[in-house]
Chains A and B, each alone.
Chain A
Amino acid sequence: MKIFLPDKSCREADAGSVTVEALLRDLGIDPIGVIVARNGTLVTEDALVENSDEVRIIRIAHGG
Chain B
Amino acid sequence: MTGRHLCRGHFIAGIEERVAETIRSRNLIVPGDHVVIALSGGKDSTALLMILARLLPSWESVRLSAITIDEGIHGYREDTIRSADDLVAKYGLSHSTVSFTELFGGTLDAFLNGREPEACSVCGILRRKALNVAAERTGATKLATGHNLDDEAQSVFMNVLRGDLPRLVRDSGSDSQGRFIPRIKPLMFVSEKEIAVYLMLHGAWPDLPECPYAVHALRGEVRGMLATLESKHPGTMLHLMESKAKIEVQCAGRLEEEAIRPCAECGDPCSGAICQLCQLKKTLKK
Let me know if B227 and A62 touch, CB within 8 A.
Answer: no
User: Shortest distance in angstroms between B144's beta carbon and chain A's nearest beta carbon?
Assistant: 14
Bits for A31-64, please: 1 = Cβ < 8 Å to B, else 0: 1110101000010100000000000001111111
Interface residue? A12 (CB, 8 A) = no
Let me know if A32 and B193 touch, CB within 8 A.
Answer: yes
Let me know if A63 and B43 touch, CB within 8 A.
Answer: no
- With A62-B208, A63-B214, A64-B40 already in contact, the answer to whether A30 and B196 are too (CB < 8 A) is no
User: Shortest distance in angstroms between A28's beta carbon and chain B's nearest beta carbon?
Assistant: 13
Size class of the contact patch on chain B: 20 to 34
Q: Which residues of chain A are within 8 angstroms of B193 by Cβ–Cβ distance?
A: 32, 35, 60
Shortest Cβ distance from A63 into B: residue: B211
Let me know if A61 and B210 touch, CB within 8 A.
Answer: yes
For B44, give its contact among A31, A37, A64 (CB under 8 Å): A64
For A64, give its contact among B195, B197, B211 (CB under 8 Å): B211
Let me know if A62 and B231 touch, CB within 8 A.
Answer: no
Interface residue? B5 (CB, 8 A) = yes
For A32, give its contact among B80, B201, B231 (CB under 8 Å): B231
Let me know if B196 and A32 touch, CB within 8 A.
Answer: no
Interface residue? B268 (CB, 8 A) = no
Interface of B is mostly: helix
Number of interface residues of A (CB under 8 A): 15
For B211, give its contact among A32, A37, A62 (CB under 8 Å): A62
For A44, give its contact among B5, B45, B195, B231 (CB under 8 Å): B5
Let me know if B44 and A61 touch, CB within 8 A.
Answer: no
For B42, give its contact among A30, A35, A58, A64 (CB under 8 Å): A64
Alpha-carbon separation in the docked complex, A30 to B193 (Å): 12
Alpha-carbon separation in the docked complex, A59 to B210 (Å): 10
Bits for B180-200, please: 1 = Cβ < 8 Å to A, else 0: 000000000000110111001
User: 8 A-B Cβ contacts within 8 A?
Assistant: A32-B227, A32-B228, A32-B231, A35-B193, A59-B210, A60-B192, A61-B223, A62-B210
Given A61-B214, A64-B40, 6 other A-B contacts at CB below 8 A? Answer: A30-B224, A60-B193, A61-B210, A62-B42, A62-B43, A62-B211
